[in-house]
Amino acid sequence: MRPFTYERAVDAAGAVKAAVETPNAKFLGGGTNLLDLMKLEIETPTHLIDVGRLPMAGIEETAEGGLRIGAMATNSHVAADAKVRSRYPVLTQAIVSGGSGQLRNKATTAGNLLQRTRCAYFYDTSKPCNKRAPGSGCGALEGLNRNSAIFGASHACIATHPSDMAVALVALDASVEVLSPSGAARSFPLMELHRLPAETPDKDTHLIPGELITAVVLPPPPDGGQLYRKVRDRASYAAGLASVAVAGGRIALGAVAHKPWRAADAEAALASGASPAEAIAAELEGASANGRNGFKINLISRLVPAAIEEARGQGRGA
Amino acid sequence: MTSVLDWEATPNPVKENRAGNIGKAVDRYEGPLKVTGTAPYAYEVEPPSPPSYGVMLSAPIAKGRITTIDTKAAEASPGVQLVWTYKNKPAQGPRPERYDFFTPSPRPALESEQVYYFGQQVAIVVADTLENAQAGAALVALTFEDDAKSVILQDHYDEAVQPPGESDTEIGDFQAAFDAAPVTVDDVWKTPLQNHCQMEPCATTAWWDGDQLTVHTSVQMVRFAQNSLAETLMIPAKSVRLLTRYVGGGFGGKGSFYEDLVLASLAARELKRPVKIAFSRQQMMHGTVHRPATEIHVRLGANPDGRLTAMSLMTVTHCDRRGNFTEHASNFARSLYAAPNRLTGHRLVRLDLPVASAMRAPGEASGTLSLEVAMDELAEKLGMDPMELRIINEPEMDPETGKPFSIRQLVRCMREGAQTFGWDNRNPVPSAVRDGRWNIGLGMAAAIRGNFLLPAKASFTVDADGVITVKQGMTDIGTGTYTVLAQIAAETLGVPLGDVRVEIGDSELPPAPGSGGQFGAATAGSAALDAGMNLRKAIAEIAVNDPASPLYGGPSEDITFQDGVIAISNRSERLSELIRRNRPEGLTADGEVRPAADASKWSSHTYGAHFVEVAVDTVTGEVRTRRMLGVFAAGRILNWKTARSQLTGGMIWGVGSALTEGNSVDARYGSLINQDLAGYLVPVQADIGELDAIMLDEVDDKANPMGIKGVGELGISGAGAAVANAIYNACGVRVRDYPITPDKILAALAAEGR
Amino acid sequence: MKTTITVNGQAKTLDVDTRTTLLDALRERLNLPGTKKGCDHGQCGACTVLVNGVRINSCLSLAVMHDGDAVTTIEGIGTVEKLAPIQQAFLTEDAFQCGYCTPGQICSALGMLQEVADNWPSQETTDLTGKIKFTDDELRERMSGNICRCSAYPQIVAAIRSIAGDAA
């Protein structure tokens, strides 16, 4: 790691102020992704602002009948929370399908959202990667890109977002609360947090510099069943080849795009009476195979209808 | 020279097993240290003074040369004590043009400006702390000329050559018999490049005391590493004391040694202080050896009654540009099934890839993934049970050499396994059994792995407390060496297990070849038995000549050793008392073993049978191993507990090779793309359901004086094939390109419109 | 940077490089090398320790983040002279071979059993609102963050099961 200075933030406002005032600073939550990348010199901050102990780890009811999950709540705590488990089971299922017990005990809600891609070409600093080194090219585009994006990729980047939790949150129509350098708090749909790569894949999100995620807010749970299904090469502790979150009529897909992918076309088709298979076929009209990842189209076309049917069964049973 | 017949005819304490130490499920000797985290692995040994830390820098190209070097920033970086590249590295012995495992030779580090493979170590930074060394290494600026490289096996078939000194073996007329066979299988199986992924990355702690070097490192072969290091450093071997007391996994990958050993030794000499160097996990993938990929062309011809008339395995594989290693994936087939017409051989392609070498069961691990699936396919074509097909083709003598088998219980393994597992319940029709969203299938395969014995020495010392100390330059890489040596000592000298000490992993101890090729227990143990026998004789000699001993006058050949007591009928005394009176400083005897002159008259192998139940989700292509049983025949078992663990571990490696493991080579860069444990997927706990190994009662008195054989590699042989066969039974899909990942299963299902 | 960590019950104050991970602080500064470095990137679990009773990967945490925390390593669980029940169970069941992943497995097992006792769900949990049924599949899933390349997995299940019984 490059040398860096470290401070432990005492409150959110101070953390944001420090982030704006200190050059090349980064927030440090659980550290499970940032330290991984710093060791490889993929991330090279010279100042870390540890926000891990800020009092933002609670999970509370909102006046609207939803939940407000503090940004520093660990993945394990969110998954184990009784309110989450009973009302948002898809979120618990998604979280516990990611990483390992140890990682989930350390990783935070905000950190999970802001984790970077697991693309092998991003991780290997001897390879070109526009996300890691803008302008260097994309090693994955013509490479061994089995686990790359089938939706929304660009010629500059076909990386996927690795979060499971975020896929469930998108299906649950969650929003994000952030504290801006101006001191103002703002809130926007989680769906709008992550970007597509376009020409600037080095930017993962629409956050402005210094902005700190303070919470994720869930609206009341949707009617109907909820389910998360993740497909991967081994039974546990591995990145997904594809995943799907179903929450009532809403569907989100994981490991298929630079962001958690809300399957809006499929939802619309379902809403107008299409079968699950027809609905996902509508969504997949926008998909494109890049080299070796074409199997994901087939996989999604099989996985999603099965998941929808299973969630409907649960919804009826509930 | 020793003869196998002498071994067979001569009784010894291990065979007699009067105290019952042999075979017993004894806990691991070094286990208490390991479960408390107090067994010091190489990087954890405390040196005589605080160490410096080395971090290596690896080449980012596969072939070419270093063109410019700028180390100024690194040298100026805080705490940095030394920066070496090929330009300023110390003089070292020259590397031979080609080298192998067993012949020590110099392995100079930072040899020249040439880069022969991606990940080759090209610089070292040593600093006062690990953090400073890592930061310094990132500041070393090297540029490279990146040459055109050849890294894809399939693209270079035209360069395939017969491995040096080898020829194909043909018995009868394979082609004619194959062409005439009424039922045939003719397919190609591909296995990928694989990595050992030992949990402990290679590491060394080194320090000098004058001209005397002490190195703690993580290797499987003590003497080989000691002698090679000495030749590299251009110093006498006796100036190098190499220790490797605890090894965090080897699997063949630490049969060699790497730049950590050489550079830590050199840097410690230069800096006059201890130096520690470890590989990073990422460096392990390219910078150490791997199992090369294979393409295995299997052709089987059979009569309608199932008898094989023709059998051929031809393997194409690769090694590195300067190497010689051949993955002998066809060899095991030479001894497995009867067929009058046979053809086997290998072709080798040299590529600009990292160094290929041995990985657990080299040959069998890859080869059985082809033939043992081909047999399943043949059984289906014949409408036969795949186990019965194998039994019909059971040979009475080695099918290629005509030699008698030392002992062969393959059929018994299959029969007993089938019964215990419930093989009868298998529905031979694929896709016939369902459980919820899962298709259920059963598969089986045979296992075979050669048996070897190498020369080794050992010494036994008894002290005035009656404690026996076994000394041997052997290693325990998780195999159980410490424990089985203690058991052999306890049984041979008739002392309680608690009165045995074992010292291994040190070049100052009597030499043994180390751990590999599942020859460790037989080789090290036989030498130990000999040392124990010699110590018995020496003790007996003293007793019968000591007027103060109740045993005075003998006869010495009647002396028994039991519970720490030596006795001739009702005359007895404690061993400790005898030694205290006569040899208060202790009494030592040496022993050794050499291969028998006539050992090659027999075909000697270990055998087994695997049975697996898998579940396949035909929506997603995911596979889960639900149940697995292996039944093995591997000679006398020294320790039921540690042997079973070796076998179950091997079986799980088989599951990994079938389902998840493999490095992908990016042709553009000549590098492996999955170079960490998030990309290279070894099995995790959730991948393995109920799994057990059963060992048949067996004694192979022709194998060595103890009648034991190895188990470290047998478990993987055939295990992956059984998984592949179960997948077919579950869902009707054959994937002949390993690993069998969900995408490949889905592609096959989709191709059939399913 | 001055950092005080209570390690195995003893307060330790270190002047530590901000870059030093908790893992390297234990191994290189506090002479506690029982915690292992297998991958240094959270991909193997060999570095698992308990921080305030919760299992984490010590390789992906900075020492300075743990000022005021209580850390338990394998050295704090039992000794050769007095093995903890989980250590004795690993020995009895032969739940390790090379031993390098073992300290992490043991720390992880202890953390995992507490998570089960606290009724935390896993991927294997089908009924998210009821009490966890601690089946072997639950155990296997929960221990999947600890790779054992020697593949002592069945023996590890047996060892943990022998001290945990059917319910933690």
Mean pLDDT over all residues of chain B?
A: 97
Taking the C-alpha atoms of residue B65 and residue B74, their distance in angstroms, rounded to an integer, is 21
- What is the pLDDT at residue C168? 46
Of B734, B731, B740, B739, the closest CA to residue B619 belongs to B731
Query: Other C-beta atoms within 10 Å of C6: how many?
Result: 15
Contact B603, B406 (CB under 8 A): yes
Query: What percent of chain B lies above the pLDDT cut of 90?
Result: 98
Q: Which subunits count as partners of chain C given 3+ CB pairs below 8 Å?
A: A, B
Average pLDDT rounded to a whole number, residues B563-568: 97
H helix and E strand count, chain C: 5, 5
C143 interfacial to chain B (CB closer than 8 Å): yes
Cβ distance B619 to A41 less than 8 Å, yes or no, reads no
Q: What is the mean pLDDT of residues B654-672?
A: 97
Amino acid found at B651: M
Best mutation target, A36, A234, A280, A308, to test chain B (most B CBs within 10 A): A234
Q: Are B451 and B710 in contact (CB under 8 A)?
A: yes
Which pair of tokens denotes residue C28?
């290189």
A91 CB near a chain C CB, below 8 Å?
A: no
Buried b (16+ CB within 10 A) or exposed e, A75-103: bbbbbbbeebbebbbbbbbbbbbbbbbbb
Q: Mean pLDDT, to the nearest integer, of B691-718?
A: 96
Rounded mean pLDDT, A77-84:
98
User: By C-alpha distance, which of B300, B82, B78 is closest to B183?
Assistant: B300
Integer Cα distance of C68 and C52 in angstroms = 10
pLDDT at B635 over 60: yes
Interface of A with C in 249-308 (CB under 8 A): none
Closest in B437, B687, B742 to A231, CB measured: B742
Size of interface B-C (CB pairs under 8 A): 194
Give the 3-state secondary structure of residue B341.
strand
Q: What is the spatial distance between Cα A202 and Cα A199, in angstroms, rounded to a whole number?
A: 9
Residues B609 and B616: beta-carbon distance below 8 Å = no
B35 neighbourhood in chain C, CB within 8 Å = 74, 78, 83, 87-88, 90-91, 96, 99, 102-103, 106
CA-nearest of B99, B190, B114, B98 to B152 is: B190
| pLDDT of B324 strictly over 50 | yes
Name chain B contacts of C41, Cβ cutoff 8 Å: 281, 676-678
pLDDT at B97: 81
> Which ipTM did the prediction report?
0.98
- Write out the DSSP string of chain A: ----EEEE-SSHHHHHHHHHHSTTEEEESS-TTHHHHHHTTSS--SEEEE-TTSS---EEE-TTSSEEEETT-BHHHHHH-HHHHHH-HHHHHHHHTSS-HHHHHH-BHHHHHHPPP--HHHH-TTS-BTTTSTTS-BTTTTS--TT--SBS-BTTB------SHHHHHHHTT-EEEEE-TTS-EEEEEGGGTB---TT-TT--BSPPTT-EEEEEEEPSPPSS-EEEEEE-SSSSSS--SEEEEEETTEEEEESSBSS-EE-HHHHHHHHTT--HHHHHHHHHTT----GGGTHHHHHHHHHHHHHHHHHHHHHHH-
Question: Residue A243's closest chain B neighbor by CA?
Answer: B620
pLDDT tens per residue, range B395-429: 999 999 999 999 999 999 999 999 999 999 999 99
Statement: residue C141 has pLDDT above 90? yes
Residues of A within an 8 Å Cβ radius of B = 1-3, 39-41, 118, 120-121, 123-127, 139, 142-144, 146, 229, 231-239, 241, 295, 298-299, 302-303, 306
| Alpha-carbon separation of residue A162 from A114, A289, B473, B673, C144 (angstroms) | 10, 18, 48, 18, 19
Burial class (CB in 10 A: 0-12, 13-18, 19+), B402: exposed
Give me the residue from B134, B620, B669 closest to A299, CB to CB: B620
Convert the pLDDT of each residue in A162-207 to its tens digit. Answer: 999 999 999 999 999 999 999 999 999 999 999 999 999 999 999 9
Distances from the Cα of B318 to the Cα of B151, B163, B298, angstroms: 9, 10, 18
Of B131, B619, B673, Cβ closest to residue A303: B619
pLDDT of amino acid A317: 57
For tokens 């020495």, name the residue: B457
How would residue B9 be classed by pLDDT, with cut points 50, 70 and 90?
Answer: very high
| Residue owning tokens 């953090």 | B131
Helix (H, G, I), strand (E, B) or coil at B135: helix
Residue B23 Rama label (left phi>0; alpha psi -120 to 50; beta)? left
Q: Considering only CB atoms, which chain A residues are within 8 Å of B666?
A: 139, 143-144
According to the model, what pLDDT value does residue A157 have? 98
The answer to whether residue A114 scores a pLDDT higher than 60 is: yes
Q: Which of B75, B231, B713, B752 is catalytic?
A: B713
Report the pLDDT value the prediction gives residue B102, as an integer from 0 to 100: 74
Distance from CA of C30 to the nearest CA of B (A): 12
> Are the Cβ atoms of A306 and B674 closer than 8 angstroms?
no
The nearest CA of chain B is from the CA of A166 a distance in Å of 20
Residue with tokens 């031993």: C99
In the residue annotation, B259 being an active-site residue is answered as: no
Q: Mean of the per-residue pLDDT values for chain A?
A: 97
Residues in chain C: 168
Q: What is the pLDDT of residue B554?
A: 83
Cβ A287 vs Cβ A300: under 8 Å: yes
Contact of B37 with chain C, judged by CB distance below 8 Å, is answered with yes
The pLDDT tens digits for B156-172 are 999 999 999 999 999 99
Q: What confidence tier does B1 reach under pLDDT thresholds 50, 70, 90?
A: low
Residue length of chain B: 754
| B345-356 tens-digit pLDDT | 999 999 999 999
Tell me whether residue A288 is exposed, middle or buried, using C-beta atoms within 10 angstroms of its C-beta: 0 to 12, 13 to 18, 19 or more.
Answer: middle
Residue B616 has pLDDT above 70, yes or no: yes
The closest CB to that of A102, out of C55, C65, C141, belongs to: C55
pLDDT in tens, B21-48: 999 999 999 999 999 999 999 999 999 9
A46-70 pLDDT per residue, tens:
999 999 999 999 999 999 999 999 9
- The kind and range of the H/E element at B532 are helix B520-544
CA atoms within a 13 Å half-sphere pointing along the CA-CB vector of B667:
7
CB distance from B624 to chain A under 8 Å? yes
pLDDT band, very low/low/confident/very high, at C166 (cuts 50, 70, 90): low
* A102 shares contact with chain C (CB less than 8 Å): yes
Nearest to B687 among A39, A234, A239 (CB): A234
Q: Is B437 exposed, middle or buried (0-12, 13-18, 19+ CB in 10 A)?
A: middle
